Amino acid sequence: MRLLPRDEKFFDLFTAVATFTVEAARLQQELLRADHNRRGVIVDQIKRLEHQADQVTHEVVSRLDRVFITPLDREDIHSLASRLDDVMDLIDGTSRRLHIFHAGIAPEGATLIADVIARATEQLQVAVGALEKNKDGTVLNACVQVKRLEEEGDTLYHEWLGRLFEGHPDALTVIKWKEIYDNLEKTLDYIEDAGNVLESISIKHA
């Protein structure tokens, strides 16, 4: 029995943010497959999830200031909260650009990368959910999958970015979709960053 009990609420808060991120990534998949008339509604749904995740992240930071004993190192808690927040912010930003740009039908490559992003956020969710007990190698295994998916997405990004410039493409279309591709690829980088923080925490507290 601890004389000064640790606040374990942080794990629930991280799980909530990871869950919101999975939902946003799945909506991003739907967004890229939707026609323009349906995109506004989906963008609004993603924005609501981003707002909810922001509120939870704020609670993490606020609780960090109030709690005397934390279950993880304070810098690790802050770093994980920031990395998860980066992922959600970029999904939201990409969705808004897609709508604002009137980007038209998504190239197959964009939908393929979005599918990889969704799978990577699911692995983040697994890792975050297993962090409190940190047993059976679940956290580390999920982080390995995140790295593998980042590499898969990176390969798709370079292949399909190149295809944008094939033949005699419309310049405005290239500009729009290059930025969207860049954001999708950066989202995977941010997911990998979050995975690296989770991996570091897991090893530290093994």
Give residue-wise pLDDT tens across range 142-159: 999 999 999 999 999 999
Domain ranges of the chain: 9-204
- Could you tell me the pLDDT band of residue 8, with boundaries at 50, 70 and 90? confident
Phi, psi of 137 (to 5 degrees): 70, 15
Q: What is the mean pLDDT of the segment spanning 86-99?
A: 97
Report the CATH architecture of 9-204. Up-down Bundle (1.20)
7 pLDDT above the threshold of 70: no
**Structure tokens of 17?**
């943010």
Q: Measured over all CA atoms, what is the biggest interatomic distance in the chain, rounded to whole angstroms?
A: 71
Average pLDDT, rounded, for the chain: 94
Rounded to whole angstroms, how far apart are CA atoms 73 and 59? 17
pLDDT of residue 6: 60
pLDDT, tens only, 18-74: 999 999 999 999 999 999 899 999 999 999 999 999 999 999 999 988 888 888 899
Rounded to whole angstroms, how far apart are CA atoms 167 and 87? 34
